Structure 1
Amino acid sequence: MSDGFLSQEEIDALLKGESSSSPAASEDKVELSTMEEDALGEIGNISMGSAATTLSILLGKTVSITTPRVSISTLNEIKEQYPLPYVVIEVSYTHGLVGTNILAMREQDALIIADLMMGGDGSNPPTELSELYSSAVTEAMNQMMGATATSISTMFKKKIDISPPTSTRVDFATDSQITDMAAGSEPIVRVSFRMEVENLIDSEIMQLVSVDVAKEMVGNLMEAMQKAEAPAASPASVPSPAPVAAQSTGQAASYAAPNMTQLKPSQPAPNVVVQPAQFAPLTPGGVPISDTNINLIMDVPLQVTVELGRTRKLIREILDLSAGSVIELDKLAGEPVDILVNGKLIAKGEVVVIDENFGVRVTDILSPLERATNLQ
């Protein structure tokens, strides 16, 4: 040191000493390139968009998920940043990919989703996740992960299968382990989404995958994009002619002709009589039936069902049923019942009693065209 200033050699020595004393700096840092982050963001955006649509159908509410944020993290860092109870759904890829996918949702959000699935309005969810509510949440997230796998399969243009999910309640503040997917200090890829369910939920959900699975996803997406962008070979294409030398000068000039078929000199077209097209009127007609063909299936048994009516019930209403309960159907008293053959409507009738047995008298039968339409 001279004049109170450090020389460049001294600065380098200090930096080397600091880096050697820090074990974290000596290890190779796992990073994602900009291309990999964009690819994972696109995968997450499309797949979780399908999951949001599925969840919206299940809840009967508008579900929106924002653009994902992709980052490298560790389970220890996640536990420190989010010291809250979470519901963790873990699925394993069984075909197309190798690894594990984890979806983590706050327990409070899971309780609201469970309350909506059980017929509540979500404004007063239970305080703890009972076995029944846990099953409802697991089913919802199972449907979401299934939709995610379907979207990934479409993007990668290959079959992607997942195992049945396992649901676990994990308190990030106190529980020592979240999953066996990776060690606490091992780098993983975290894809975060902001999820909104109308005015009930405004929170964050996380998708966690190992770095190897993330890079495999990127590779599959790139391969699918390259296959889609590869131009199909045209059998009618004609090779480009050889370069033509310019004859006006002594220098050779090449000309690259585009791929196109050679045009022949036009020939005089013969006289053609053109008449307006005539079409038969579009009137419903009977479906032709061949006796020869129908005789081949005359002995095939069919199941005939008479349906008195239908109704829709919530899960909690089904669980409340007991002996003596009355279920109101969607038909009025005296209204004709539906006659189904193999689950397809073919006629309507009225219930009669024949020798102490119930029967049905056919009062209205569908036309052959309507029956054929129903059977398709």
Structure 2
Amino acid sequence: MSISLEDMQQEALKELSNIAFGAGGTALSQLLGRSANITMPSLQVVEAGELSSFFAVSDVLVKMGYSDGLSGKSLIIFPRDYAVFIGQIMMMQESSLESELSEMHLSALTEALNQVLGAGATAMSEMLNRNVGLVSPQVEHRLLTQEDFQELIGEEGAVLQVTFQMVVEGLPEGRLVQFWSLKLASEMASCLLGDMFPEPEEKSQPSIDNPLDNFNDMEKETLKEIGNISLGSSATTLSQLVSRRINITAPKLSYTSVEDIKHRYPAPCVIVEVSYSEGLIGKNVLIINAQDAVIIAQLMMMQEPDGKGEIDEISISAVSEAMNQMMGASATAMSDLFNRMINISPPRLEYKEIDTSTDREGGIFDIEEGLIQIAFKIEVEGLIDSEILQLIPLDFAKDMTSYLLGGYKNGEEMSPSKESEREKEVLGVEGEKEESSGEDSIVTSYPSDVGNIYSPLEMEGLELVKDITIELQGIVGKVKVPLREILKLGKGSVMEFDSYAGEPIDIYANGKLIARADIVAVSDFYGIRLREIITKQH
């Protein structure tokens, strides 16, 4: 199938690229603490035979994939000097372009690109009016080959080349080149321009290589919410332990493989394996980069946190203590979410390289089918601006979503017998039994509905007033400050409330406190999940 791009489509793609990389440039500038500018791009369709000029280039190759919102991949050629410079700044080294580009530089660059490309994906989501998720980029330093472009060329025999000029303070101007398949470019242009340029008839099917396609939208949102609640409560506990304000952003969900994780973390990192001993059957893993672990250890030991130093047994012990308490808080939050007791075994913590060949049998990296990746951006007041990954095996992820969605699996209602079997399998319990028509049945306790709370007479009275409008408000926090402090406020000012990140918010109905709830993300909007109803007894 031949695909061509009209002038209007190319202009739309140029603007999309400009906005995405503009957001990425802003994120890079904040990371480096110096100005970073990326110019308006130029676009051209390049035939397969004309790509040979890039094969002699020994820059940094960045392979990108999309986990949500778009189907396809792209390549970025990143200037070698910029890779060295960014790696040195990220590792707080003295900058010198004469240095060799080491694996540590590539690891630091990967961490920077995660945030830069993530900012770009957020900007694209807003412009395309759909959630765009990225697979963790693979970063390599080597000569490019024909094989690198083959998947992009496809049947069209050409690719779209997007070229930017890039200037970072203290560096000479560099060239950044991105390549898209024409099919992906046409899909994005169609999304931007609507019916003027409909998508090609041969619409791409979900890739069998991405098992996340087997999860429907509700299941994906449920997994995000599980991660959000468990990590949010953990962050609150860590904040109290180290007496620092901690912020964790809404999670990003994607599918990954052990090989992808190895590319993302080529250097040793801290791996925390959490196994459930009651209430759920399964395990998951948290991955924390070494520098962040050092800072957490220093805070736990009441040392000056500078992020310098090696990970030793004392550091491991300090981080283990923090993780014990954090995961305990997470288990408590999960118990509330699943409406039953959930306990974990003491977290197993290791500082090592990710290597399947050395992973013990049954370990989370000793699997072939891949993992669900939930990525959180974590900020520890003035010290850490990084990312934590939560990795969940596919079958465990599917089991948890099936249970929470109340008997629905893969969008179809389960029969009572299958639901009971699934509940016993997921939760690892026999369940309480009672006699009913001579047969044993599982009894599960769920919150009562309105009809069980009010009497028939009260329900009749409610019918008369149920159409009255009630204003609901969610209060994140409050603070009292002198008027002189208010007068000092300006753009960029920060005010500290009386509540910690991750704490439930107060819900008011016409000014009366009625409940407490967690903030959740519902598609592109904020929402709440009720944690506690305030009754007369309170």
Structure 2-normalised TM-score? 0.37
Deviates more, 1:214-223 or 1:45-54: 214-223
Match of 2:464 in 1: none
Change (3 A) 1:208 1:234: closer
**What is residue 74 of structure 1 aligned with on the other side?**
257
Q: 1:29 to 1:237 in 2, by over 3 A?
A: same
Matched, 1:99 2:99: no
The percent identity for this pair of structures is 40
On the 8 A contact 2:271/2:350 being kept in 1, the answer is yes
Equivalents in 1 of 2:380, 2:208: separation in Å? Answer: 45
Aligned residues: 219
Contact 1:90/1:101, CA 8 A, preserved across alignment: yes
Hey, what's the Cα distance between the residues in 2 that align with 1:68 and 1:62?
19
Tell me the secondary structure at the aligned position of residue 233 of structure 1. Answer: helix
User: Are 1:135 and 2:317 matched, yes or no?
Assistant: yes
Q: Does 1:196 align with 2:415?
A: no
**Cα gap change, 1:115/1:132 in structure 2, threshold over 3 Å: closer, same or farther?**
same
Q: Indicate how the Cα distance of structure 1 residues 93 and 230 shifts in structure 2: closer, same or farther if over 3 A, else same.
A: same
Pairing 1:120–2:120 present: no
CA distance in structure 2 between the aligned counterparts of 1:43 and 1:94, rounded to whole angstroms: 18
Q: Deviations over 1:335-359 (max 9, x none)?
A: xxxxxxxxxxxxxxxxxxxxxxxxx
Instruction: After superposition, give the CA deviation of every residue in 1:35-79 in whole Å (9 maximum; x if it has no partner).
Output: 111111112112211111100111111111110111121111111
> Do 2:212 and 2:254's aligned partners in 1 also have CA atoms closer than 8 Å?
no
Indicate conservation of the 8 Å contact 2:211/2:255, yes or no. Answer: no
- Structure of greater relative contact order (alpha carbons < 8 Å, 6+ residues apart): 1
Q: 2:347 is matched with which residue?
A: 165
- The structure number with the bigger radius of gyration is 1
Check the 8 A contact 1:182/1:188 in 2, yes or no: no
Cα drift, residue 177 of structure 1: 4.6
SS where residue 113 of structure 1 aligns? Answer: helix
- RMSD over aligned CA atoms reads 3.1
CA contact (8 A) 2:210 2:255 kept: no
Whether 1:233 aligns to 2:456 is no
Distance 1:136-1:224 versus aligned 2 partners, 3 A rule = farther
Larger strand proportion of the pair: 2
State the secondary structure of the residue aligned to 2:369: coil
Q: Structure 1 pair 139/234, CA: closer, same or farther in 2 (3 Å)?
A: closer
- 8 Å contact from structure 1 (residues 87, 170) kept in 2: yes
Partner of 1:45: 228
> For the Cα contact (< 8 Å) 1:191–1:207, is it kept in 2?
yes
How far the C-alpha of 1:221 sits from its partner, in A, is 2.5
Provide Cα deviations, 1:98-143, integer angstroms capped at 9, x if missing partner: 01121111111000110111111212x4421111111000111121
> Which runs of no fewer than 5 residues in structure 2 stay unpaired?
1-153, 156-206, 409-444, 462-538
Q: Find out whether 1:34 has 2:217 as its counterpart.
A: yes
Aligned ranges for residues 1-376 of structure 1 at < 5 Å?
29-31=211-213, 32-123=215-306, 125-172=307-354, 176-177=357-358, 180-183=363-366, 185-223=368-406, 227-228=446-447, 230-233=449-452, 236-237=455-456, 260=460
Q: Give the 3-state SS of the residue equivalent to 1:223 in structure 2.
A: coil
Structure 1, unpaired ranges of 5+: 1-13, 16-24, 239-257, 262-376
Paired with 2:320 and 2:382, the residues of 1 have a C-alpha distance of 22
CA distance in structure 2 between the partners assigned to 1:193 and 1:145 by the alignment: 16
Shift of 1:170: 2.0
Residue aligned with 1:101, SS: strand
| Deviations 1:199-256 (CA, angstroms, capped at 9, x unpaired) | 1111110111111221222233223999447444368438xxxxxxxxxxxxxxxxxx
Distance in 2, matches of 1:90 and 1:154, equals: 22
Q: What SS does the aligned partner of 1:128 have?
A: coil
The 2-side partners of 1:78 and 1:211 are apart by 15
Q: Which amino acid aligns with 1:237?
A: P
TM-score, length basis structure 1 = 0.52
Looking at structure 2, the residues matched to 37 and 115 of structure 1 have their Cα atoms a distance apart, in angstroms, of: 36
Larger helix fraction of residues:
2
> For the structure 1 residues 161 and 234, does the alpha-carbon distance in structure 2 shift closer, same or farther, using more than 3 Å as the test?
closer
AA aligned to 1:160 is I
Whether the aligned pair in 2 keeps the contact of 1:193 and 1:206 (CA below 8 Å) is: yes
Q: Give the direction of change, closer, same or farther, for the CA distance of 1:59–1:29 in structure 2 (3 Å limit).
A: closer
